[in-house]
Amino acid sequence: MKVCILGSGLTALTLAKALVNQNIFVDLVSFNKNLKKNSSRTIGISKTNCEYFNKNIINIDKIIWKLKKIEIYNDNSVNEKILNFENNKDQLFSIVKNNQIYATLNKSLSNNKFFKKKNFKKKTSDLNKYNLIINTNYNSIFTKKHFSKKIEKTYNSLAYTTIIEHERVLNNVAIQIFTKFGPLAFLPISSNKTSIVYSIYNSKKNDNVKIIELINKYNFKYNIKKIEKVESFDLKSLVLRSYYHNNILAFGDLLHRIHPLAGQGFNMTIRDIKTLINIIKNKIDLGLAIDSSVNKEFEKKLRHRNYIFFNGIDFIHEFFNLERKFNSRVLTKSIKLIGKNPSLNKMFTTIADRGINF
């Protein structure tokens, strides 16, 4: 069996490693020789997904920073938590720098006999030899042709990312503040470094001075020594209407992209990888063909779950955005009541950790 993965980003490498671990031959076809890696970008990985990653993809315990608590605030109550998720006995969530996990995966794959890297050639006939083609690339020849129908939302916002260096503290609590400018996240990555993700409404590029001022304004925990280079990207969310075309499967951010406020984007992808690997393993065990039927089953299992999760994250964004627009504390008070209910709090924590399962 041979699989082609189109793309060379983090999703492509993660999926490639999961497949070669099953002794499946993978060719990774790159469209961009000089892929730009954002040095300040981080990703959050839930406890369950981290356990799956360590066991079935590659062990990343040495490069992750474990968090035991997530605290939620808003502009009207910066000194008072409106929601609190925690696990005092174990990690609730982990944060890792994109370039570190990318380098770890890349190094592991470089000497694997089941893996090859190739540059894209214009002859599409070269792709006919693969059982499956998994497309993670926006610029591939298949994206506009087969994966252009989608539900898309533009937030008219820019997400700014940076890393602050500060005095050493017990740094195992992530903080999310829904400010009047947009959601701001402080995501610890070590005892003296914390990643920042700040989504600003109606922002203009290169507004870095304002971003630094706002970080300092809303920071109530750290004695900041240095703020690294601020980088930005446009905020959109999308979900494809169709997951596949014949033996070509859309994957990763090409398949679904959500607002970063809940740190769930890469977690959705890990859950998708788990489902895809299980489908392939079951077919191999039963002696069945690895073909477009894999994609059909994948879509059947996940499309409704991912769509509900996609809308759930968007609802959270719009919920707090509504309070910002009306400058009211009514919604905050309602959220506090929900947060004090142990059963509801546990349910939301489980969904954030495991996704939607029914």
Instruction: State pLDDT tens for residues 1-59.
Output: 899 999 999 999 999 999 999 999 999 998 765 556 667 889 999 999 999 999 999 99
Q: Which residue has tokens 């693969």?
A: 130
Amino acid at 11: T
pLDDT score at 247: 94
Q: Which residue has tokens 């006999």?
A: 113
Q: What is the pLDDT of residues 184-243, one digit of tens each?
A: 999 999 999 999 999 888 777 667 788 899 999 999 999 999 999 999 888 889 999 999
Strands 173-179 and 69-74: parallel
Going by C-beta distance under 8 Å and a sequence separation of 6 or more, which residues neighbour residue 29? 4, 5, 6, 7, 118, 119, 120
- Backbone φ and ψ for 31, nearest 5 degrees, come out as -105, -10
pLDDT at 330 over 60: no
Q: Where are the beta strands (DSSP E) in the chain?
A: 2-6, 25-30, 42-46, 65-67, 69-74, 83-86, 93-97, 115-119, 132-135, 150-166, 173-179, 182-188, 193-201, 224-227, 231-240, 244-245, 248-250, 256-257
pLDDT score at 333: 62
Amino acid at 207: D
Q: Which DSSP string corresponds to 207-263?
A: -HHHHHHHHHHH--S--EEEE---EEEEEEEEEES--EETTEEE-GGGTEE--GGGS
How many alpha carbons lie under 13 Å from residue 205 in its C-beta half-sphere?
5
Residue 141 banded pLDDT, cuts 50, 70, 90: confident
2-153+236-354 placed in CATH 3.50.50.60:
yes
Q: Is the pTM of this model over 0.75?
A: yes
What does the alpha-carbon distance between residue 311 and residue 313 come to, in Å, rounded to a whole number? 5
Amino acid at 153: K
pLDDT score at 123: 59
- The domains of the chain are located at 2-153+236-354
For helices 330-339 and 292-326, angle between their N-to-C axes, nearest 10 degrees: 130
Q: What is the pLDDT of residues 142-163, one digit of tens each?
A: 898 999 899 998 888 889 999 9
The answer to whether the CB of 355 falls within 8 A of the CB of 275 is no
Segment 85-98 mean pLDDT: 82
Number of Cβ atoms within 10 Å of the Cβ of 202:
10
| Termini Cα distance of the chain | 32
Instruction: Classify the C-alpha dihedral 8-11-13-18 as positive or negative.
Output: negative
As a whole number, the mean pLDDT across the chain is: 86
**Rg (Cα) of the chain, in Å, rounded?**
21
Element of type H or E holding 266: helix 265-285
Q: What is the pLDDT of residues 263-295, one digit of tens each?
A: 788 999 999 999 999 999 999 999 998 899 999
Residue positions counted in the chain:
358
What does the alpha-carbon distance between residue 339 and residue 351 come to, in Å, rounded to a whole number? 14
